[in-house]
Amino acid sequence: MLKNEQYWFLVQETYATARSGSLKMLTAKASEANDGKPLPMYQKAQCGLTAGAIGACVGSPADLALIRMQADNTLPLPQRRNYTNAFHALYRISADESYCKCTFTAHNLLFTGVLSCITEI
């Protein structure tokens, strides 16, 4: 169980770091383009929506690895993939299936990421 909790923190940190960093960068660029004036609500919303989408795209491969590692423990022994860590899981998923599988969960998480970031505004 401790192993999965560590990967959950990996998922949260990759998502939160990407979202927070891109939100700061986007609002700084928007403020600069706005001649240093305070941003109107629609510009804040655009920055928040974009930052949430970026965070979801960056964090989704780690989330996929966590889900696959948890599901692997429930499979019968002959069908288990025996992932050793999140990076091994991502490597095996991209090698055995495709890179598209790694990014497919981004579409599922995109809406959640966008909503979670827009609520910070």
Average model confidence (pLDDT) across the chain: 80
**pLDDT band of 19, cuts 50, 70, 90:** confident
pLDDT classification of 2: cutoffs 50, 70, 90: very low
pLDDT the model gives residue 1: 47
Q: What H or E segment, with its residue span, contains residue 51?
A: helix 41-72
Query: Percentage of residues in the chain with pLDDT exceeding 70?
Result: 75
The answer to whether residue 18 scores a pLDDT higher than 80 is yes
Closest to 2 (Cα-Cα) out of 78, 69, 51, 53? 69
Report pLDDT digits (tens) over 54-111. 888 888 888 888 888 888 888 899 999 888 888 888 888 888 876 666 566 556 666 6
Predicted TM-score (pTM) above 0.85: no
% of the chain at pLDDT higher than 90: 14
Residue 59's nearest CA partner among 89, 88, 17, 121 is 17
